[in-house]
Amino acid sequence: MILNKFSKLNRKKETRIGRGGKRGTTSGRGTKGQKSRSGRRIRPAERDLIIRIPKRRGFRNKAKSDLVLVFNLGDIKGTLKTRIQEDRQHFLNRDVLKETKIIPSDFRGELKLLGSGEIDFPILVKGMKVSESAKAKIEKAGGKVETEVKRGK
């Protein structure tokens, strides 16, 4: 095969649309609209489907609050006394406080028991901060305070 005697292949030239010439102004693209423009980009059908689905507003995992919710011995005395009379266990933790509606059911922050008020029956306090005066009053009534020790990272 000799390169200088190489014949042209029968390749059809690609038509470049929309550049004037014999086909007129629109050059086979029709009039107006997205399909007649240069650089057109048709949005995928999946995107339109996603847009049609409504947003689930207000759905988010609630972050743990930095606030410390405080309550007193006087606040819990009446509710715990009725629980003891119903022969339930006489302990105090987050679940008991949510069940008796002393704290909100969706509260995720820290809890602290303060010593305002008196208590005359023994209780076991678990999983919350307790002030020194509240601890003294609970132990005087025959109760016990168990606090979790947080370890450093």
The answer as to whether 3 is a domain residue is: no
The answer as to whether 50 is a domain residue is: no
77-88 in b/e burial notation, b at 16+ Cβ within 10 A? eeebeebeeeee
The answer as to whether 105 is a domain residue is: yes
Euclidean distance between CA atoms 115 and 134, whole angstroms: 4
Mean pLDDT over the full length of the chain: 80
Looking at residue 145, what is its pLDDT? 93
pLDDT digits (tens, 9 = 90+) for 1-56: 677 777 766 677 776 666 666 666 677 777 888 888 877 888 888 888 888 887 77
**And the tokens for 89?**
């266990």
The answer as to whether 110 is a domain residue is: yes
Report the amino acid identity of residue 120.
D
Q: Which domain holds residue 142?
A: 68-146
The CA–CA distances, whole Å, from 137 to 68, 116, 131, 147 equal 21, 10, 10, 16
61: CB partners within 8 A, 6+ apart? none
Mean pLDDT of 69-80: 87
Domains in the chain: how many in total?
1
pLDDT(151) > 70: no
Looking at residue 152, what is its pLDDT? 45
More confident residue, 107 or 15: 107
Euclidean distance between CA atoms 124 and 146, whole angstroms: 7
pLDDT(114) > 90: yes
Contact 108, 64 (CB under 8 A): yes
153: confidence class by pLDDT, cuts 50, 70, 90:
very low
Task: Name the percent of the chain lying above pLDDT 70.
Answer: 76
Mean pLDDT of 122-145: 91
The answer as to whether 82 is a domain residue is: yes
pLDDT(141) > 50: yes
Domain of 94, CATH number, reads: 3.100.10.10
The answer as to whether 122 is a domain residue is: yes
115: confidence class by pLDDT, cuts 50, 70, 90:
very high
> For the CA atoms of the chain, what is the radius of gyration?
38
The answer as to whether 112 is a domain residue is: yes
Closest Cα partner for 89 from 99, 103, 75, 101? 99
The answer as to whether 124 is a domain residue is: yes
Q: Hey, which residues does 3 pair with through a beta bridge?
A: none
